[in-house]
Amino acid sequence: MEKLTIIKIGGKVINEVEALDAFLKKFSQLEGKKILVHGGGNIASEWQRKLGVEPKMIEGRRITDQATIEVVTMIYAGLNKQIVAKLQSLDLQALGMSGADLNLIRAYKRMNIVIDYGYVGDIEKVNDDILNSLINLQITPVICALTHDNNGQLLNTNADTIASALAASLSERFDVDLVYCFEQPGVLSDFVNKTVIPLIVKKDYEGLKTKGIINDGMIPKIDNAFDAIDAGVKHVKVCHFDKIDTIDSEHYSGTVLCQKG
């Protein structure tokens, strides 16, 4: 099967113009078919605070009430078009999309009897036919963290989850390489000294969580990684945004997640 690289960019990189520009330049130079998924939660949180609303997070998930869905829609959609414009300047034919565009990602409002997450969406279906058509037209989809419920409601959906769902859905058509990148060099066992865990196999993951080595916002990311692996993606990589040009080389120094070692 032909290779497809799906890269999710997030963390503080999104906030820093120079870092984001450096990443996009390397992304544009990656050979082959590719998709970019981005978050924007840090910027959304900044704007919520400017508007006098303190963001609410539970286990790395944002509580999304009516005011929050309005803010994240504004931020994610605007950032999406800024990224697309920069990619066009780098001679990459990119198309900015949310999950509502072309019925790309349909979701349903999360139901939880303990926590009301508000307008948070859990993914129901990915329109991989549309994605496949765009990719084969040499168009690079750039997808933000919004989905829809097919009844006119936008839903805030974790960008790591979107990347995982895209990888799982497209793994029957392509040899998918799923990469999560941000400002850290990988999944860390020692945050102070930036010590990277080079390999995480599924049987060891629970132990790393129990010991507190993997915690907080990293847990949803790794959960999503293993969801993609369970669905047929061979491995997932977590690395620094400046190292995406090494993901297929012997110089790769981030973390690899896989089913078995």
Q: What is the pLDDT of residues 187-221, one digit of tens each?
A: 999 888 999 999 999 999 989 998 989 887 788 89
The full set of domain ranges for the chain reads 3-258
Token pair 């419920």 in the structure block, residue? 149
Which tens digit of pLDDT belongs to each residue from 156-173? 999 999 999 999 999 999
Q: What Cα–Cα distance (Å) separates residue 37 from each residue in 66, 70, 116, 162?
A: 24, 20, 26, 8
Residue 84, pLDDT score: 98
pLDDT at 59 over 90: no
Query: What is the spatial distance between Cα 103 and Cα 119, in angstroms, rounded to a whole number?
Result: 18
Q: What is the mean pLDDT of residues 37-52?
A: 88
Model confidence at 4, in pLDDT bands (50, 70, 90)? very high
Predicted pLDDT of residue 57: 81
Residue 258: in which H helix or E strand, if any?
strand 255-258
Query: How large is the average pLDDT for residues 104-130?
Result: 92
- pLDDT of the residue at 128: 96
Is the confidence at residue 113, as pLDDT, over 90?
A: no
Above 80 in pLDDT, residue 60?
A: no
Q: Tell whether the model's pLDDT for residue 155 goes beyond 80.
A: yes
Q: What is the pLDDT of residue 261?
A: 64
- Nearest in space to 217 (alpha carbons), one of 242, 188, 257, 256: 188
- Strands of 160-242, DSSP E: 175-182, 188-190, 195-196, 199-201, 235-240
Q: Which pLDDT score is estimated for 61?
A: 73
127 band by pLDDT with thresholds 50, 70 and 90: very high
What local confidence, expressed as pLDDT, does residue 41 receive?
83
**What is the three-state SS of 81-123?**
HHHHHHHHHCCCCEEEECCCHHHCEEEEECCCCCCCCECEEEE
The fourth-level CATH superfamily of domain 3-258 is Acetylglutamate kinase-like (3.40.1160.10)
Q: How far apart are CA 148 and CA 119, in angstroms?
A: 10
| pTM of the predicted protein model | 0.95
Share of the chain above pLDDT 70, in %: 98
pLDDT at 53: 80
Higher pLDDT among residues 37 and 63, named by residue: 37
Structure tokens of 155? 């839903």
Please, what is the average pLDDT of the chain? 93
